[in-house]
Structure 1
Amino acid sequence: MSLRIAVVGTGIFATDTHLPALQKLDNIYQVVGCYNRTKAKAETFAKKAGITKVYDSLDELLADKDSIDVIDALLPVQYNPLIVESALSNGIPIAIEKPIAANLEDAHKVVELSRKYPDTPVFILEQWAYYKSIELIKKELPRIGKLVSFQYSSTGAFNFNNKYLSTGWRQHPKHIGGYLSDGGVHQLALLTGILGHIKSVSAKTTQIRELSGTVDTLYSLMETESGLIGTFTYGSCFGNTEKKGIFQILGDNGSIYLDFSPTLPSPKITINTGGFSAESERKTEEIQVENENFDPVREFQVFGEGLLKKDYSGYITTPEVAFHHLAIVDAALKSNGQSIDVEKA
């Protein structure tokens, strides 16, 4: 049996990204209804989805819980605690978009709600956490010896043609750091998925574009809970420059270099081994990451299969994990060059 899913918030991302992903997984999901504050948008979405059920209010949707198995919520993140509480108190599992909340106070609320209703999952939609690159690199880490440090950098030119640029949640962000939390949690899902939690952050931020609404560029020094030190750079508001994404992990017997720049046909992992001693053999190998999980299909698959099997052990993006990603951004914003410990959920 497939899961009957209702979509709450039927804007650009719901229509252009979530709906196609759910339709690809028609063996798992059946879109049965939708709601949007502006009903005309919900009706447009419903027509594209091939459904007739358009709810007049969120309360009406929740009252129809016998017809709904799960909710896919795409609201501005400041509303995440409210929609999560509404769903869980009605016994309906819910997927919400990253970041987990607008700030750490609200993020704590989402975590507490998930703990209050442990049998009704809250799934954070963060597709970078399900990248194939993560497991591929983790498998190779022992080959480069004792891990010492890392360099992570994702930079690019400002996209004046971004279809989300005119939206209120981009121009007047309620979520801390604006672009830095909206896009930064993607980057941090990749980084922490491989190296584990971040213990502390020393950072400087700046704002390049007025259109960003707030600070939009971050340079930082980080320490992981396992003792690695490294740099994390994130900014997508520069002038004319090639969009680059690189992640290098350095050990005492080699290094691993991930190039996930969008100009490549697919991400590439370079493994350099040797160097522990003068006599150790030095080798270089490359792995091309084919069909990386750039769209939400894989995360929706994990979410749905877990619900159908009632086995949530495959869920990577729990509220606690998503809290950690936002808490790193929070620490960076508070740092102003000082070392700040990352708050725990």
Structure 2
Amino acid sequence: MTGIALLGAGIFAGEEHLPAIEACPALTLKAVYSRSQQSAEALAAASKDPASVAVYFDRPAVEGKSLADLLQRDDIAAVDIVLPILHQPGVVEQALRAGKHVLSEKPVAGDVEGAQKLIAWYEGLGTANKPLWGVAENWRYVESLRYAAQRVREMGGTLVTFKLHKYGFVKSDNKYFNTEWRKTPEYQGGFLLDGGVHFVAGLRFLLAAAGQDIKQLVGYSALLDQRLIPVDTVHAVAITQDGKSGTIGISFGTEFKSGMEIEVVTTNGAVSWDTTVVKTVARKGGSGDERVEETKEFPYSSGVTAELGAFAKAVEAGKLDVLQTPLEALKDLEILQRLLESGAGGAAVKAIGL
């Protein structure tokens, strides 16, 4: 088993990453860390065996209880970092310098430039005995999305068009809204960055099954609800390397419109996905005019348990899962950032591809 520490309390760490770690037979939770003693102790108390989980924090300062102290422990080989967006890169670097394998939460950094700098530093470590660093994008591990990608590959054909539409409304009593760093964001895009990279990752996952990725986009952005600063909505047209166009619409400020759908259409059919349903319309036998329609339902899954399991296997094997590479996460972030930049620039055309 791999000894692991969970860094970062809060809702997401406590409700999703903590039980996911404890459900993984290849991982043993040894310690938790949060910046404050109160939140660190609350996270440890939520574990299955609080007595076996050591607590670390930096406020107040207590000898032997800091993050640096945690990272010195030989029985902890890996850390799962679930901290606010702007705090993560520094902790990622600190953990890697200490020789710990790292799984850090999406996005890979607050902006493309910061992500590039961190990735370049990591790649500069060379290959000898370098700890693994993966970026957690749980949507790539959702069973229904993986099935949708499988259906796109089986259907075949040439991409015709695609869409990503995600609409919803963040209410004032929303538990995520009521974390101070989200309520008063100091990073670009607000909820569009925090949640939007999930949706972009899902779209890219299905486009990859059709052999395509986004290479150019142009969009408009808006702030529909003044609580959701700095911007809560973006609508765009995106183009792949083969010149095929599709639409992207993401909004956290539409009170009377909700739902999520990603669709990929090829010359042989179409696959539509939401978190629990995959719908396929395809040519029967791969040719002719007769069509076959299929609807397959799935229980809801966040994919977090599967992504932690993949990371545990990577640590054991000494090779990172390709779906967790920082470069893959950088591509998600770049598309999201270019959407924001295009919207802020009055629908300026943005190229994709660092």
Shift of 1:37: 1.5
Q: Look up the match of 2:203.
A: 191
Shift of 1:255: 2.0
One-letter amino acid matched to 1:137: A
One-letter amino acid matched to 2:325: T
Shift of 1:60: 1.2
Contact 1:201-1:339 at 8 Å conserved across structures: yes
One-letter amino acid matched to 1:44: A
CA distance in 2: counterparts of 1:167 and 1:40, whole angstroms: 15
CA distance in 1: counterparts of 2:331 and 2:193, whole angstroms: 12
Gaps of 5+ in 2: 57-64
Q: Look up the match of 2:177.
A: 165
Shift of 1:160: 3.2
- Percent identity between the two aligned chains: 28
Note the alpha carbon deviations across 1:12-71, whole angstroms, 9 max, x for none: 22112111111111x11111112222112112222222134222211111222x121101
CA distance in 2: counterparts of 1:164 and 1:182, whole angstroms: 10
CA distance in 1: counterparts of 2:307 and 2:327, whole angstroms: 17
Residue among 251, 260, 263 paired with 1:248: 263
Give the TM-score taking structure 1 as reference length: 0.89
Contact 1:114-1:319 at 8 Å conserved across structures: no
Contact 1:200-1:223 at 8 Å conserved across structures: yes
CA distance in 2: counterparts of 1:301 and 1:292, whole angstroms: 18
Whether 1:139 and 2:150 are equivalent positions in the alignment is yes
CA distance in 2: counterparts of 1:9 and 1:236, whole angstroms: 25
Q: Look up the match of 1:82.
A: 90
Note the alpha carbon deviations across 1:276-314, whole angstroms, 9 max, x for none: 99xx232132141424542410100100011112232x3
Shift of 1:183: 0.9
| SS of match in other structure, 2:30 | strand
Greater mean alpha carbon deviation, residues 331-340 or residues 125-134: 125-134
Q: Look up the match of 1:263.
A: none
Greater mean alpha carbon deviation, residues 31-40 or residues 285-294: 285-294
CA distance in 2: counterparts of 1:13 and 1:224, whole angstroms: 33
Shift of 1:202: 0.2
Shift of 1:144: 5.2
- CA RMSD for the aligned pairs? 2.1
Q: 1:158 to 1:42 in 2, by over 3 A?
A: closer
Shift of 1:94: 0.8
Q: Look up the match of 2:77.
A: 69
**Paired residue total:** 332
Q: 1:79 to 1:268 in 2, by over 3 A?
A: same
Q: Look up the match of 1:45.
A: 43
| SS of match in other structure, 2:336 | helix
Aligned pairs (5 A) from 1:203-242:
203-241=219-257
Q: Look up the match of 2:55.
A: 54
One-letter amino acid matched to 1:247: I
CA distance in 2: counterparts of 1:138 and 1:227, whole angstroms: 21
Q: Look up the match of 1:305.
A: 313
Give the TM-score taking structure 2 as reference length: 0.87
One-letter amino acid matched to 1:299: E
